[in-house]
Structure 1
Amino acid sequence: MKKTLKLIPGVDWFWSHANTWCKTTLLRLKKTEDVFTDIYEKNYWGDRESASGPGSNMEETKVIRQELSHIVSSYRVLSLLDIPCGDFHWLKEANLGEVSYIGADIVNQLIDNNKRYENSHRQFVRLNILKDRLPQVDLILVRDCLVHFSYSDIAKAVDNICASGSKYLLATTFPDKENNINIATGQWFPLNLQIAPFFFPQPVLIINENNPEYPDKSLALWRIADIKGKHL
């Protein structure tokens, strides 16, 4: 039967798109907490080194570990919210000095596991970036997060960040991308925050991560006051 169906023109295309539609629809029906908890529990991103995926291994974070230290000193960052913090694999190796660090994630198991890293200037809390009140800090780090969100969830996250009263946002962007796509939360797309429908202004600073697969993958630094009320 399967061999016969494959002989029919367009069948492969139909089943491929039907499968994609089903997966996307199922994601949209799930709660955000459940989407990312499933990804963590099933090790969906499949990296041997970090439960947060290959983008959080030591090789792919070599540049940003160094640059983050420079940002902390150059912009007088005394407090930092890292959301989502994931498994804290790479950032625990960054030199942040005496910065007051808050690691937050929507996945309960990750926060429970990260508690072992707490000390006098480091704590971990469960927060949903879409709806929970965020602490006011000097810098909010949102790496590899918005790239997994639908347009509406990106808007919610950015609104929530702006409402926190924090000073700077350091977020993942792909500045060479010419078009964005509205995905289901839990999928992934290389997002350019400076084009439609977001139109973020020119960042204060942009750090190319030297990613081997996506040469333009970057962390960009914005003053939150500059993006407040000027996005989707």
Structure 2
Amino acid sequence: MMNPVSDQRQGPIRDHLYTYADGKEFEGKTPEEVFTQIYQGNLWENSQSVSGHGSTPEQTAEILRLLPGMLRRLGVKTLIDVPCGDFNWMQHLDLSGIAYTGADIVGELIESHRLKYAREGVQFEHFNLLRDTLGAYDLVFCRDCLVHFSIGDIHRALDNIRTSGSRYLMTTTFTGQTENRDIPTGGWRPLNFQLPPFNFPEPVMLLNEKCTEWDGLFGDKSLGVWRVDA
């Protein structure tokens, strides 16, 4: 696991980042307003991807390498990617034999994706995970999403996923995180889904992303897989 930042520095630096990305400027706005504002203003300030630093080739190389094999082992034939963001890295994933649905709360993104990327087996939907009814998929792929939601909105999203009839959830989890803080939706903080208030069991599979952001401060960033229909 890549993590050159010492344990003594880790806590204070992470605390600083919570303050930096606390999302207070988004209070009182709907989730669609929040994420549309982030998209239109490129508020995550990345020149390669409006979806942020985590969607660059460097930060997704390990996922592109390992995820296809994981999907095969899970028997995934239908997948919804929510949020699909700007599709910057997912367009390079081997989706052979998988019906892919990219879903996002930002309508402008979906309109653009339908023109540029839609093809047989690849479709896009304007979708609000907190409001719209989710259909049944083999895998709900939910990377870098719930970390931006308030605790209340995370529970709403998870309830939607649980009642969808889907088989698996794959979502971002930070295995070294020791507490889960609340924020307004639109902010950011790391989450460990095996801790309260979520208390997920051990994941069926775990993919460490080898995240190098902030000099390896988030080397525990992973994609965990859990059964939804268990």
Whether 1:142 aligns to 2:142 is: yes
Q: State the 1:225 CA deviation.
A: 2.4
Verify: 1:155 aligned to 2:155, yes or no: yes
2:8 is matched with none
1:69-109 residue CA offsets vs partner (Å, 9 max, x unmatched)? 01221111100000000011101101110210000000011
Give the letter aligned to residue 125 of structure 1.
E
| 8 Å contact kept, 1:36–1:106 | yes
Is structure 2 residue 75 aligned with structure 1 residue 76? yes
Verify the 8 A CA contact 2:23 2:184 in the aligned structure 1.
no
Q: Which has the higher contact order (CA 8 A, sep 6+)?
A: 2
Query: What displacement does 1:23 show?
Result: 6.2
Q: Tell me which residue corresponds to 2:27.
A: 28
**What are the ranges of 5 or more consecutive residues in structure 1 without an aligned counterpart?**
1-18, 227-232
Report the Cα offset of residue 47 of structure 1: 0.9
Residue 16 of structure 1: aligned partner: none
- Distance in 2 separating the partners of 1:67 and 1:139: 16
From 209, 217, 224, the equivalent of 2:228 is: 224
Post-superposition Cα deviations, 1:25-49, rounded to whole Å, max 9, x if no partner, equal x522001100000000000011111
Amino acid of the structure 2 residue aligned with 1:92: Q
Which residue of structure 2 lines up, in the alignment, with residue 47 of structure 1? 46
User: Does the aligned pair in 2 maintain the 1:81–1:135 contact within 8 Å?
Assistant: no
CA RMSD of aligned residues (A): 1.5
Q: Which amino acid aligns with 1:218?
A: S
1:117 to 2:111 alignment: no
Indicate the percent of aligned positions where both proteins have the same amino acid.
44
TM-score by length of 2: 0.87
Q: Which runs of 5+ in 2 are unaligned?
A: 1-18
CA distance in 2, matches of 1:175, 1:225: 23
CA distances 1:141-193 after superposition (whole Å, capped 9, x unpaired): 00000000000000000000111100000000001111111001000000111
CA distance in 2, matches of 1:37, 1:198: 28
Match in the other structure for 1:6: none
